[in-house]
Amino acid sequence: MAGKAGYLSSASRPLIPSTRKDEAHADSRSAEEEKYRAGTIARVTAEPQKNSSSAELNVVDFTAIQHLAETERTESNVDTAASLKPLQKDGQRLGSDGKELQEEDDCAGFALNIAFTPLETNFQEIYFDLKSSVNFTVESNVPMRTEAKITASYNNMENISDFSERPHWKWHDSGLTLEMPKRRDIVAIVLIVLPWTLLITVWHQSNITPLLATRKDDRRDGRSNFRNTFAFKESCSLQNRDIVEVVRTEYVYSRPPPCSDFLPTIHVITPTYSRPVQKAELTRLANTLLHVPNLHWILVEDSQGRTPLVSSLLLETGLNYTHLNVETPRNYKVRGDTRDPRIPRGTIQRNLALRWLRETFTANNSLSRIVYFADDDNTYSLELFEEMRSTRKVSVWPVAFVGGLRFESPKVNTLGKVYGWKTVFDPHRPFAIDMAGFAVNLHLILSKPQAYFKLRGVKGGYQESSLLKELVTLSDLEPKAANCTKVLVWHTRTEKPVLVNEGKKGFTDSNVEI
Amino acid sequence: MATRMKLKLKTVFVLYFMVSLLGLVYALMQLGQRCDCTEHDLPKDRTISRLRGELHRLQEQMRKSEATKQPQKHAVKPSPPTIFVITPTYSRLVQKAELTRMSQTFLHVPQLHWIVVEDSPHKTPLVSDLLVKSGLAYTHLHMPTAKDRKLQEGDPSWLKPRGVEQRNEGLRWLREDRRAQPGGESQQGVVYFADDDNTYSLQIFEEMRSTQRVSVWPVGLVGGMKYERPVVEGGKVVRFHTGWRPSRPFPMDMAGFAVSLKVVLANPEACFDGEAPMGFLESSFLQGLVTMDELEPKADNCSKGLGSDPAVEV
């Protein structure tokens, strides 16, 4: 029943739908006569027999058109074959659902096999019965531009009187056109695009185009330049750190460390006042500061004159220092030792230091100078001073033991900008930060000669804001200490020593300095 | 002809793919190489080479100063006696701050060996990291205090003696370690008990280096007074000037004395007695070692205050 066709001719008669009775009839006759006319794929006769539930389909014209190129519209070198055979199992005819036919059924299952050769064969078995409409699709694995049109007619010869009962044929012909993405094509596209995207992103990152030449390596500083092209911004600060490390670990107890011409000088402003623990505090602080290269200590006493205790201490340490003094007027002074936050301590002294800096330095220095307010009872790690050396305007970092928390810190977003404050005590202050939590570049202070700590009418915790709001805005702040995640300064407070036994007989000799 | 066209397209794709792959591989290999960037970022380059030059200059300077120091040192003695500082510490909020401050002070003292003994069943990373980063020569030990000897929440700090087990552990380690050293008992060294909440001036370490047996000096802000000190007459300590229980055998603070290593090694049983009454801790240790007239007064015959004892409050 099935026949193999050779070359096909284009369909000249689109058969189907089946409303064209006459044509079908005509076709069938001519088809029958010309059984194996060229172009015909297969011929199958279909004869519905009412009682035997069998029918045979006569596929008159079966055309496959394959477009390979625009110019070869009609040519095809595909062999196609189609066959229709009834479904049988052990001699029993099966219905279209694959089950055995009962006597009362008058439909039969047929299998229509269509094959495209030689490229990729595709067998599609299509089941249909005489009463239902049949869709059949042919999927082809041939290359993208294949278009197949299948036309077939159902030719029911003698026994069907009403042609309209014959099933409609529908066919797809658009599903096989070019736009259907095949897996292989997708793979190919991805493989082509991927290397280029990788290349472009990598190239873009390096921001230096000549990645092609090599450079003589200078290994004398012991740090490899392996990632030099990608880490230019870090390399400068790394070099700074190198110098500091060398200076710190190798100066072998010569204090203070030798001065470098390239490290920015840090000016540490410390207000201090006389009390029993003053010498101890200043000694401790001096021991810390002696480790920091290029440091200038500005010590401002809250006293009428410079006390010998402080003067001799400063001389002994060998630090680079400036000793100032200004007395806080009585109405500003804290009564006794109560920690009344409404009267900020040390304000006048810090303002004096700022004034001294403004008088001593002018704005045309090439090397930057950093100003840091360090109280004498806090603890500073040496890393802190290195972090603040790269301050351009105002840098900030977390401080431990303030605001009733383990530490307070600025809130830093993913872009590295400060947008808020992680504090419990009044986080809505313009700058909710402790005095020890920020450092200012001297250029900024010199450029705003009116910026001072406010004396009067400053609420508790707002003293830092009174200065900073005249200098910078929140967005100008530079977060340090690994984006404000490390604690490098502790707001320790010295316990007031218990001196209950003083004044008792013979105690103590007031000539001895403590 | 269709086949040929097809083939051509396919080969084009394949070629394109291969070329791009090769280019990518090449570029990726180039990433690992150093590049010649002299045309770009010139100012940064200049800064870097300038800084490097500065670095070398400073290193040279230091080497020179060290070289001039060395011959002096060699003329005097092979090496100064090491000061072994035993510090008990315990975990609390200000622990890191206190230890940081201490390490910053100790960095100024040559030939110092810091023995830190934690009151903990195991070594904590906080202290380990701090010690490593400090750059000091150190030994990290730990010894937990027995529960009944420990201060509870709300206890005043003077209720139970603190740091006893830790100091004893430090002594034990020291004795063991020194015994293993060549030279045995005839080793130079000084042992000092430094608590982590005190302030130390740098002169004290120089003063104590010459301790032959036990040396003493004034301590500030202790004993309810501005300072406590031994009273020296004729170069010998006759009594102690202190406001609190002066009848103790050695009425002084832990920070007010240092013991020579020889004495510590020669008396392997001497250690701190945790059962001693309040304030007798130092005496419990010193009693077996020395008598009052054998004490060596330092700091200008104990007229200068060199160590002081303010406790730190959060």
- Which chain A residue has its CA at the smallest distance from B41's CA? A232
Determine how many CB atoms are found less than 10 A away from the CB of residue A211: 19
CB contact (8 A) between residue A280 and residue B108 = no
- Which chain B residue has its CA at the smallest distance from A259's CA? B58
B105 touches chain A (CB under 8 A): yes
CA B197 to chain centre: 13
pLDDT above 70 coverage of chain B, percent:
82
How many Cα atoms within 13 Å fall on the side-chain side of residue B308? 29
Residues of B with Cβ-Cβ distance to A220 under 8 angstroms: 52, 56
Place B161 in a pLDDT band, splitting at 50, 70 and 90: confident
CB contact (8 A) between residue B225 and residue A217 = no
How many Cα atoms within 13 Å fall on the side-chain side of residue A352? 20
Task: For residue B111, give the 3-state DSSP assignment.
Answer: coil
What domains can you pick out in chain A, each with its CATH number? Answer: 265-490 (3.90.550.10)
Please compute the mean of the pLDDT values over residues B141-149 and round it to a whole number: 85
Q: Are B60 and A231 in contact (CB under 8 A)?
A: no
Q: How far apart are CA B21 and CA B18, in angstroms?
A: 5
Determine how many CB atoms are found less than 10 A away from the CB of residue A328: 19
Per-residue model confidence (pLDDT) at position B190:
93
For the stretch B222-226, contacts whose Cβ atoms lie closer than 8 Å and that sit 24 or more positions apart, written own/partner, are B222/A497, B222/B253, B222/B255, B222/B256, B222/B308, B222/B309, B223/A501, B223/B253, B224/A498, B224/A499, B224/A500, B224/A501, B224/A502, B225/A499, B225/A501, B225/A502, B225/A507, B225/A508, B226/A276, B226/A499, B226/A502, B226/A508, B226/A512, B226/A514
CB contact (8 A) between residue A287 and residue B105 = yes
Q: How far apart are CA A254 and CA B68, in angstroms?
A: 12
Task: For residue A512, give the 3-state DSSP assignment.
Answer: coil
Crossing angle of the two packed helices B95-106 and A278-289, in degrees rounded to 10: 70
CA A99 to chain centre: 59
Q: Does the pLDDT of residue B79 top 80, yes or no? A: no
pLDDT tens digits along B108-137: 898 899 999 999 999 999 999 999 988 899
Tokens of A426: 């009044």
Q: How far apart are CA A21 and CA A205, in angstroms?
A: 72
pTM of this prediction?
0.61
CA A303 to chain centre: 56
Chain A interface, best mutation among B12, B15, B29, B35, by max A CB count within 10 A: B35
CA-closest candidate to residue A78, choices A44, A53, A41: A41
Identify how many contiguous H helices and E strands chain A contains and give both numbers.
Answer: 10, 21
Count of A–B CB contacts within 8 Å?
225
Q: Does the pLDDT of residue B261 top 50, yes or no? A: yes
Catalytic residue status for A464: yes
Sign of torsion over alpha carbons A340, A343, A344, A348: negative
Closest CB from B34, B48, B104 relative to A217:
B34
Tokens of A302: 């809250």
Per-residue model confidence (pLDDT) at position A242:
59
Per-residue model confidence (pLDDT) at position B31:
75
Q: Which of B169, B207, B282, B296 is catalytic?
A: B282
CA-closest candidate to residue B94, choices A289, A406, A276, A376: A406
Chain B interface, best mutation among A492, A502, A509, A510, by max B CB count within 10 A: A492
- Encode chain A (514 residues) as per-residue pLDDT tens digits: 333 332 222 233 333 333 344 444 444 444 433 332 223 233 333 333 333 333 334 443 333 333 222 323 333 334 444 444 555 666 666 655 556 666 555 444 444 444 443 333 333 434 333 333 333 434 333 332 233 333 343 443 333 333 333 333 333 333 333 445 577 888 878 887 887 888 778 776 665 444 444 343 333 333 444 444 344 444 445 555 655 555 554 444 456 677 777 788 999 999 999 988 898 899 999 999 998 888 999 999 999 999 999 999 898 888 899 999 998 887 655 554 444 445 578 899 999 999 999 999 887 777 789 999 999 989 999 999 989 998 999 999 999 998 888 889 999 998 889 999 988 888 888 999 999 999 999 999 999 999 999 887 788 788 899 999 999 999 999 999 988 989 999 998 877 777 777 776 666 666 666 7
Tokens of B147: 């529960």
A148 phi and psi angles, rounded to 5 deg: -125, 135
Sign of torsion over alpha carbons A440, A442, A446, A452: positive
What domains can you pick out in chain B, each with its CATH number? Answer: 82-147+159-216+254-292 (3.90.550.10)
Q: Are B298 and B249 in contact (CB under 8 A)?
A: no
> Which is more confidently placed, A511 or B289?
B289
Closest CB from A217, A226, A280 relative to B220:
A280
Residues 6+ apart with CB under 8 A from B102: B87, B194, B196, B200
Q: Are A223 and A242 in contact (CB under 8 A)?
A: yes
Q: Are B27 and A197 in contact (CB under 8 A)?
A: no
Determine how many CB atoms are found less than 10 A away from the CB of residue A5: 22
Q: Are B285 and B270 in contact (CB under 8 A)?
A: yes
B93 touches chain A (CB under 8 A): yes
Chain B interface, best mutation among A229, A281, A509, by max B CB count within 10 A: A229
Interface predicted TM-score of the whole assembly (ipTM), two decimals? 0.73
Q: Does the pLDDT of residue B46 top 50, yes or no? A: yes
Residue B197 counted as an annotated binding residue = yes
A232 touches chain B (CB under 8 A): yes
Per-residue model confidence (pLDDT) at position A205:
66
